[in-house]
Amino acid sequence: MKELEEKIKNDGSIISEDILKVDSFVNHQVDPELMLHIGQDFAEHFKGRGITKVVTIESSGIAPALMTAQQLGIPLVILKKQPSKILNDNLYQTQVTSYTKGTSYELTLSANYIGEKDHVLIIDDFLANGEAATGAIRLLRKAHATIAGVGILIEKSFQPGREKIKSQGFEVYSLARVSKMQKDYIEFIPEE
């Protein structure tokens, strides 16, 4: 998606060879117009596949996932990073290693919101090692849902996430695929 690539080039900052910061339009401040276009792109790509829910991981995936759900006319379900005191019954849980923090957290889903009749699209902001998306897949399997695919805003293609998700049998559709980055330099895999 050219618009996202341009935004990354102009407003993203490269923290190291493997961490890109997009705080000014995705992770801290959010650009609503860009999120709408992202939602339209994902919806156009995944439409007509019988998807019943969009699922994301709190918190950075929420804005683009909400726009995608709105465009597809279906609900958004947010996987929680901590078991809440209110969400105590009927919970599915799995441990995920955080890429940016290096620690692990418990990903939680209430059985009230996803079940065996659901066909789910997973949306997240970044794909690095594929731990977060694989955690989401594990939870959805526990809920007996089926998975339509994984939509990612920014895939770091030099890291193994795409292969990890593909090897589990799922499509990965990424809007911007970074092939290389260094201080003040970023390169994308051209769109097909």
Report if residue 155 touches ligand 5GP, rule: CB under 6 A. no
Q: 25-64 mask for ligand 5GP (x: CB under 6 A)? A: --x-----------------------------x--x----
Count of residues of this chain found to bind ligand 5GP when the rule CB under 6 A is applied:
18
130 has binding-site annotation: yes
**Helix, strand or coil for residue 158?**
coil
Among 8, 76, 127, 176, binds ligand 5GP (CB under 6 A): 127
**Helix, strand or coil for residue 20?**
strand
Question: Least distance (Å) from ligand 5GP to the CB of residue 134?
Answer: 7
Handedness of CA 26, 32, 34, 36 (dihedral sign): positive
Report d(CA 177, CA 192) in Å as an integer: 11
156 has binding-site annotation: yes
Span 81-110, contacts to ligand 5GP by CB under 6 A: 99-100
Cβ atoms of residues 67 and 46 within 8 Å: no
Report which of 48, 55, 22, 35 is spatially closest to residue 155, judged by C-alpha positions. 22
128 has binding-site annotation: yes
109 has binding-site annotation: no
Report if residue 130 touches ligand 5GP, rule: CB under 6 A. yes
Cα–Cα distances (Å) from 152 to 62, 137, 140, 191, in that order, read: 12, 14, 17, 14
Report which of 176, 175, 152 is spatially closest to residue 164, judged by C-alpha positions. 152
Q: 8-27 mask for ligand 5GP (x: CB under 6 A)? A: -----------xxx-----x
Report if residue 78 touches ligand 5GP, rule: CB under 6 A. no
What length is written for the chain?
A: 192
Nearer to ligand 5GP, 56 or 110 (CB): 56
Report d(CA 125, CA 155) in Å as an integer: 8
Q: Which residue ranges are tagged as binding site for xanthine?
A: 20, 27, 156
Residues that bind ligand 5GP (CB under 6 A): 19-21, 27, 57, 60, 99-100, 124-132, 161
